[in-house]
């Protein structure tokens, strides 16, 4: 085989390798807490264009509707376990992402899920499954939802749930945890740290312990010291201000809503957005011996920092370009050698 033919074969052989490298770039995982439903998932359920609750309307006013269509994209691509380092106080619910800033609004009327102390089953809605560890934290006693959420508001030393590599079934990761004694309005902060990439996802779920939130209560009664004076002798007073209404009950969106909203999302939903079958949200079987691998509350976390992230695709493109240039140079060199050989005959 001539040198020229060898170079051509080499160039053709290298091209598929370059394309294979491009295709191998990992697809991003996506999801959010479904039970107790997260703020962004709840507001998406209400309808991004016309939310029903005051809190969700305020979130849209602050950050627009796209954040709700992208409910499964509150993430940091290169987190690698550095959550507190990368996310400043007051921006935990948005993960410091300006597009989701409406989720950080400090207010007491976010739709909330009623819960009670004791064992609780968490359901994380996922549209692109990947291996990793889920960790859920709860706010400390005395949490004030009218103040911006800070890391110090969370009981970081005692997570209420930790689960590594649970199986995704019917689009949900399901795992168990234990809610401590609390009262009134609290917040659950979930972190999903992938182990096959530094990427991590975050969500805030508003919950209430003990039924309706505080703020009600009847006023009035007879004055001390006997019977009420005659109406003619009683000066008319301005009516007492109404107590703030409790936050509405939260609820997750239906599958029909999720499917309808996927067309307006800029992130992956049920495989939309890429052709990678490995990122489907279809049911998958748990690997032998893996199960939910639940860890005791307060146990150590397994936040591996291996694998690729959103920058990997750019590295692959660069590598592919280098291969293409190398093969072109090889082809040109072979042609020169062939031409030189002919002139020398």
pLDDT single digits (tens) 45-90: 999 999 999 999 999 999 999 999 999 999 999 999 999 999 999 9
pTM, 2 dp: 0.65
Edge to edge, the sheet with strand 118-128 lists: 30-35, 118-128, 172-179, 168-169
Does pLDDT of 253 surpass 50?
A: yes
Range 45-56 burial, b when 16+ CB lie within 10 A, else e: bbbbeebebebb
In this prediction, residue 339 has a pLDDT band, given cuts at 50, 70 and 90, of: low
- Which pLDDT does position 247 carry in this prediction? 61
Q: Helices (DSSP H) in 144-266: which residue ranges?
A: 255-262
Class of domain 28-214+247-308: mainly beta
| Residue for token pair 């006693």 | 141
Closest CA to 173 of 197, 203, 198, 151: 203
Give me the pLDDT at residue 139, please. Answer: 98
The residue ranges of every structural domain in the chain are: 1-26+311-345, 28-214+247-308
Q: Which of 38, 42, 34, 144 is nearest to 95 (CA)?
A: 38
Q: What angle do CA 169, 115, 129 make, to 5 degrees?
A: 20
């Amino acid at each position: 085989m001539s040198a020229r033919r060898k170079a051509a074969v080499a160039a053709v052989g290298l091209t598929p390798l370059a394309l294979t490298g491009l295709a191998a770039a990992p697809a991003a995982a996506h999801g959010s807490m479904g039970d107790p439903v997260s703020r962004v998932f709840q507001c998406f359920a209400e309808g991004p264009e016309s939310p029903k609750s005051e809190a969700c309307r305020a979130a849209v006013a602050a950050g627009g509707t796209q954040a709700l269509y992208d409910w499964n994209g509150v993430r940091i691509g290169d987190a690698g376990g550095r959550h507190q380092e990368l996310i400043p106080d007051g921006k935990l619910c948005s993960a410091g992402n300006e597009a989701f800033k409406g989720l950080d609004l400090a207010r007491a009327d976010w739709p909330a899920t009623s819960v009670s102390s004791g064992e609780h089953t968490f359901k994380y809605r996922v549209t692109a499954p990947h291996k990793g560890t889920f960790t859920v934290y709860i706010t400390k006693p005395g949490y004030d939802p009218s103040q911006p959420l800070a890391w110090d508001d969370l009981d970081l030393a005692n997570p209420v749930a930790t689960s590594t590599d649970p199986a995704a079934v019917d689009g949900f990761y399901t795992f168990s945890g234990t809610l401590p004694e609390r009262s009134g309005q609290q917040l659950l902060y979930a972190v999903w740290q992938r182990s096959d990439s530094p990427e991590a996802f975050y969500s805030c779920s508003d919950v209430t312990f003990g039924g309706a939130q505080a703020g009600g209560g009847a006023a009035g009664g007879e004055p001390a010291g006997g019977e009420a004076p005659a109406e003619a002798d009683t000066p008319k007073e301005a009516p007492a201000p109404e107590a703030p209404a409790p936050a509405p009950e939260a609820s997750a969106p239906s599958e029909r809503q999720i499917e309808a909203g996927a067309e307006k999302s800029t992130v992956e939903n049920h495989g939309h957005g890429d052709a990678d079958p490995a990122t489907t949200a279809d049911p998958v079987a748990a690997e032998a011996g893996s199960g939910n691998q639940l860890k005791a509350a307060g146990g150590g976390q397994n936040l591996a920092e291996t694998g690729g992230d959103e920058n990997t695709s750019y590295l692959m493109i660069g590598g592919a370009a280098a291969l293409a240039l190398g093969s072109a140079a090889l082809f040109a060199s072979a042609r020169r050698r062939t031409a030189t050989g002919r002139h020398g005959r």
